[in-house]
Amino acid sequence: MNKKEVIFILLNGFADWEGAYLSTYLNWGVKPGGPVKYTVKTLSISKDPVTSIGGFKVLPDYGINDMPEDYAGLVLIGGMSLRSPEALQIVPLVENAIRDKKLVAGICDASYFLGVHGFLNHVKHTSNGLDYIKQAGDKYTGEANYVNEQAVRDGNIVTANGTAPLEFCREVLYALNADTPEVIEKSYQHWTNRLTPK
Amino acid sequence: MNKKEVIFILLNGFADWEGAYLSTYLNWGVKPGGPVKYTVKTLSISKDPVTSIGGFKVLPDYGINDMPEDYAGLVLIGGMSLRSPEALQIVPLVENAIRDKKLVAGICDASYFLGVHGFLNHVKHTSNGLDYIKQAGDKYTGEANYVNEQAVRDGNIVTANGTAPLEFCREVLYALNADTPEVIEKSYQHWTNRLTPK
C-alpha cells in the first residue's frame, strides 16, 4: 500500500505526551496486523533538533522549506513555542492544508494557535477551556462553535485539550479513516478502561 | 539547585508513550513552580538517531561509551529492540546502577529485559503479565516476586506493564523523591480522573 505522510509539527518545548499515542497508531497501524495506511514525519522551522518538554531531542524530517506537496494532514503538537514569532511561519502551511481539505489537528496550545489565526471560527472545536481560547484575540470569533469536550472533530479539523492525548488520537484516527470504527474504539479502550482508578 | 541526570535508555523502535509523562515531570518538575531536581538525558548504543515506534527520530545525548559517572538513575523504555544483540551492551550499565543503589526502572519489554538478565529475581516486580516474563528463560527465577499490578516499586527498582505509563511515572517519581507524595498523587490523578470513561 502506498502510505500517505502525516506530518507532525514540532517546535521547541513540544509536549511529549500529546502525540505519543497518535504517532504510534498512525505509523504502526491501529491494530497489530491491521492496515498501515500512514507514515509519520516530523517538521519544524528548520531541520535542527527540537527539544521536548521532557528533554528528548527530536531531529525533524523536514524544515519549513521542505514541506512535501503530497501528504494526508498536519498534526500540530502543543508546547511552549506556539506563541513565538517563529511559529507564525507555520500559518501558511495550515492555510494550504485547509484549502486542500486535508486533516488539520491541534492539541493544547496548538488549538489556541489555530484559534488565534482564525482557523476555528466556522467549525466545532475545543481547547484547554473557553476562557483559554478566548484570549486568542480579535481573529478568534468562534465562541459559538466552542464545545466543552476533551476532543472535537468537525470534518477535517480536530482539536483537543492538552489533557486528552487519547481522545485526540481517536478523533484523528477517525478523521483519517485509519481503521474501522470498531478497531479505533478498541484502541482507545485499551488505555481508558485500564486507567479507571481502582 | 544542582540537578541530577536521569538517563533514559532508548533503542530503535522505542515506545513513544512509555516515557512521555515521566520525562516531562522529571525535566520540568512535577508541579508548575515546584522543585526541579532532575534533568532528563537520553542514551543509546551510539549517538546516531534512534527512531520511535511512532516515527520520531531522537538524537541521544549519550552513546554507550559516554555514560556519565554522576547520575541519579536509569529509565529503560520498552520497544522493539530490547531482545537484539546490541541491547546486551546495556547490561553492564544496569549492573553498575544496581551496585551503586541508583534507580533502575523498566517498562514493558524493558521489564522483560531486566528479568532475562537476572535483575528481578530478588525484588518485587511486574511486567506485561507473568507468562510474558516467564519466557525470559533460565536467569529469571523471580516468579515468587512477581506482582500482578500495573507498576511495582521495590527500593530502587521500578517495573511496569506497557499499558501503564502513568503508574510507571508515579512510582519512579516516588523512587526519586521528585516531590511530595501529595504532589505526586495529584500529578497522577490529573490524568486518571479525567480519563475515566463517561
CA distance B79 to A15: 20
Q: Give the distance, in angstroms, between the CA of residue A180 and the centroid of all CA atoms in the same chain.
A: 20
Q: Is the pLDDT of residue A197 over 50?
A: no
Quick: pLDDT tens for A20-54.
Answer: 999 999 999 999 999 999 999 999 999 999 999 99
B40: buried, middle or exposed (CB in 10 Å: 19+, 13-18, 0-12)?
A: buried
Q: What is the DSSP letter of A80?
A: S
Q: What is the ipTM of this complex?
A: 0.96
Q: What percent of chain A has pLDDT over 70?
A: 97
State mean pLDDT over B146-164.
97
Contact A176/A103 with Cβ under 8 angstroms?
yes
Contact B191 A19 (CB under 8 A): no
Q: Does residue B51 belong to the interface with chain A, where contact is any CB pair within 8 Å? A: no
State mean pLDDT over A45-70.
97
Position A193 confidence tier, pLDDT thresholds 50, 70, 90: confident
Q: Is the pLDDT of residue B181 over 50?
A: yes
CA distance B18 to B76: 10
CATH number for the region B4-195 comes to 3.40.50.880
| Amino acid in the structure at residue A133 | I
State the pLDDT at residue B197.
Answer: 45
CA distance B149 to B164: 9
β-strands B151-154, A50-51 pairing: unpaired
Model pTM score: 0.96
Return the C-alpha torsion angle A75, A79, A84, A88, nearest 10. 10
| Amino acid in the structure at residue B181 | P
CA distance A159 to A105: 6
Q: Does residue A19 belong to the interface with chain B, where contact is any CB pair within 8 Å? A: yes
- Angle at Cα A81 formed by Cα B32 and Cα A127, nearest 5°? 70
Among B28, B49, B56, select the one facing A23 at the smallest CB separation.
B56
Q: Which residue of A has its CA nearest to B10?
A: A56
Quick: pLDDT tens for A93-123.
Answer: 999 999 999 999 999 999 999 999 999 999 9
Q: Does residue B99 belong to the interface with chain A, where contact is any CB pair within 8 Å? A: no
Q: Average per-residue pLDDT in chain A?
A: 96
State mean pLDDT over A145-158.
97
Contact A194/B163 with Cβ under 8 angstroms?
yes
Position B1 confidence tier, pLDDT thresholds 50, 70, 90: low
Contact B75/B41 with Cβ under 8 angstroms?
no
Q: Which residue of A has its CA nearest to B60?
A: A57
Position A1 confidence tier, pLDDT thresholds 50, 70, 90: low
As given in the structure block, the three cell numbers for residue A41 are: 514525519
Of B167, B64, B89, B77, the residue nearest A54 (C-alpha): B77
The distance in angstroms from the start CA to the end CA of chain A is: 42
As given in the structure block, the three cell numbers for residue A190 are: 485499551
Q: Does residue A196 belong to the interface with chain B, where contact is any CB pair within 8 Å? A: yes
How distant is the Cα of B21 from the closest Cα of chain A, in angstroms?
6
- Angle at Cα A186 formed by Cα A184 and Cα A188, nearest 5°? 75
Contact B55 A49 (CB under 8 A): no
Quick: pLDDT tens for B158-180.
Answer: 999 999 999 999 999 999 999 99
